[in-house]
Amino acid sequence: MEIAKIVGAKDVYRVDINVEALRRTSLRNIKTFAPDFSKDIILLPNNSVDLITPLEVIEHFVNPSNILPEAHKVLKPLSYFISSTTNLSVR
C-alpha cells in the first residue's frame, strides 16, 4: 500500500491463490481476485494499471517469461513494474 501511495495509484488489487488471504484483504476495501496461473494472463483491461508488484511470485507461474508482456499490456503509460523473485534456475 505504501508503494501505491508513493506512485499515486488510485486502485489497489491483491492477486493471490490463497482464498483466505483474499478474504482478509477485501475487508480492507482492496479489490481482490484469484488468478489462473496455468494461463498466466492478467485479467484486467489494457492500459488500466498504475503499478504492478509481483513480489516473490513469478517463479510460481507456468510460463514466467510471460509476465512482462502481460504487465506491459495492462500498465498505463509511465507506470511502474517493481518485482523480486528467487533464482528461477532453481526450479
Distance, CA of 45 to chain centre: 13
DSSP codes, 10-58: S--EEE-S-HHHHHHHHTTT-EEE---TTTT---S-TT-EEEE--BS-G
- How do the pLDDT tens digits run along the chain, 91 residues long? 788 888 888 777 888 878 899 899 899 888 888 876 666 677 789 999 888 888 887 777 777 778 888 889 999 999 888 888 887 665 5
| CATH classification at residue 23 | 3.40.50.150
The structure's pTM equals 0.73
Residue linked to cell 478474504 = 23
pLDDT, residue 90, reads 56
Distance, CA of 46 to chain centre: 14
Q: How many domains does the chain have?
A: 1
Range(s) of the domain holding residue 8: 2-90
pLDDT, residue 88, reads 60
